[in-house]
């Protein structure tokens, strides 16, 4: 059983789709560039996750200045100014699977 199938089994009350599901086409484009995210991970290691609930940080300047985000700004947004932020925390709804990346 894949991690995605296991996650779905733990949360049967929800319809859990992959990002490449056709249902998401109306919301925009999924970019699958193979960006190296090491610099993003280094910045995110410094961002504190709240002990309970969720936290939204609309812009993290150090994140926006990483090589990866500058490449996203250049290659995807054509140098339009962007904010690089994050929503993080703990779900009170979904049962967790102890994984970092859920794949098919």
**101 pLDDT more than 70:** no
Average pLDDT value over all residues in the chain: 88
Contact 8, 93 (CB under 8 A): no
**80 pLDDT more than 90:** yes
pLDDT tens-digit map of 11-57: 999 999 998 899 988 988 888 778 899 999 999 999 999 998 899 99
**Nearest 5 degrees, angle CA 99-CA 103-CA 104?**
135
Structure tokens at 55: 């936290």
This prediction has a pTM of 0.70
């Amino acid at each position: 059983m894949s991690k995605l199938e296991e996650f779905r089994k733990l949360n049967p009350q929800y319809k859990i789709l992959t990002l490449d599901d056709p249902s998401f086409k109306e919301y925009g484009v999924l970019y699958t560039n193979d960006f190296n995210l090491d610099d993003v991970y280094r910045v995110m290691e410094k961002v504190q996750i709240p002990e309970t609930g969720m936290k939204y940080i609309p812009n993290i300047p150090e994140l926006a200045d990483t090589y990866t985000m500058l490449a996203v700004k250049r290659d995807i947004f054509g140098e339009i100014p962007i904010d690089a932020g994050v929503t993080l925390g703990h779900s009170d709804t979904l049962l967790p699977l102890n994984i970092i990346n859920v794949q098919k």
